[in-house]
Homo-oligomer: A and B are copies of this chain.
Amino acid sequence: MITLKGAEVSAKIKEQTAEMLKQCGGRIPKLAIVRVGENPDDLSYERGAVKKMAAFGLSAEVYAYPADIGDEAFKAEFQKINGDPEVDGILLLRPLPKQIHEREIERMIDPEKDLDGISPENIAKVFAGDSSGYAPCTAEAVVETLKAFEIPISGKRAVIVGRSMVVGKPLSMLLLKENATVTICHTRTVNLRETCRNAEILVAAAGRAKMLDKESVGKDAVVIDVGINVDENGKLCGDVDFETLEGTASMATPVPGGIGAVTTAVLAKHLVMAAARKG
């Protein structure tokens, strides 16, 4: 079985962004990372994003607010960042605390700065197969990974486990655009294993540690693991029990070292795209 390393995909994306960066006329694109509270998942993603922007020669600034900031106060702060001409793109760490109306932020964010595809404009574009917008980075990272390793998508049976707005749903549209036959599974799917075993490309994006193992993987399938979980020993792990796949899957992404690294690379690419479009 071939291990599909995220670092290799990230390196390819870095080459592409370096090319695009030339269109920014020497200006260094700036990412605003907006965080409310100190959620460990947010902090971990933030660290990864900051590191990746630096590695790609891009700038990132963290705008952190206390967990109990009020809805109006947060919106006022957000609007400032949103309107700041120095800010080329925004990553809003979510979910936000309950007192903040996340839906209204989604409508407020400038679609041109909405690098993680949370605005209705960008969602509608993903739905329409219009690549002029920004898809959620994690969903796009899956497609970038398949393409980087030259894994054929067209005509293939792709099965996605998970139906979130961040991965499952947008990914179904991105894979459809690549002409895959797409099946979306979830907690209510009857006979999940059998459905998964039928996949030529299996994407695990359910957010449950090691919920899939070799029994759910067809012979020679490509397995993409989007999950980031902590196992019973406190160790980072994916939705797939990677160790069991040898002899079944033809290729698989590990966790860590897989899709996570690609996701922040896609974020960097989106940032450079946004900056280049501004000219």
Contact = CB atoms under 8 A, between A and B. Distances in A.
Contacts of A123: 120, 123-124, 127-128
B181 A189 contact: yes
A229 interface: no
Given A172-B184, A195-B181, A189 B155 contact: yes
A181 B172 contact: no
Interface residues of A, number: 30
Contacts of A125: 120
Contacts of A23: none
Most buried by B among A124, A127, A183, A186: A124
A165 B156 CA distance: 21
Contact of A165 (B127, B181, B183): B127
A4 interface: no
Contacts of A155: 188-190
Contacts of A190: 155-157, 181
Nearest to A155: B190
A203 interface: no
A179 interface: yes
A92 to B, nearest CB: 16
A186 B195 contact: no
A154 interface: yes
Interface string A93-116: 000000000000010000000000
A121 interface: yes
A27 B50 CA distance: 57
A120 B169 CA distance: 16
A182 interface: yes
Contact of A124 (B120, B173, B176): B120
20 contacts: A120-B120, A120-B121, A120-B123, A120-B124, A123-B124, A127-B165, A154-B188, A155-B188, A155-B190, A157-B190, A169-B173, A169-B176, A172-B172, A176-B184, A179-B186, A179-B188, A181-B185, A181-B186, A181-B189, A183-B184
8 cross-chain pairs, A with B, having the tightest CB-CB distances, nearest first: A120-B124, A179-B188, A123-B124, A183-B183, A181-B189, A120-B120, A155-B190, A120-B121
Given A155-B188, A181-B183, A181-B188, 16 more contacts: A119-B124, A123-B128, A127-B165, A155-B190, A163-B176, A169-B173, A172-B172, A172-B184, A176-B184, A179-B186, A181-B184, A181-B185, A181-B186, A181-B189, A181-B190, A181-B195
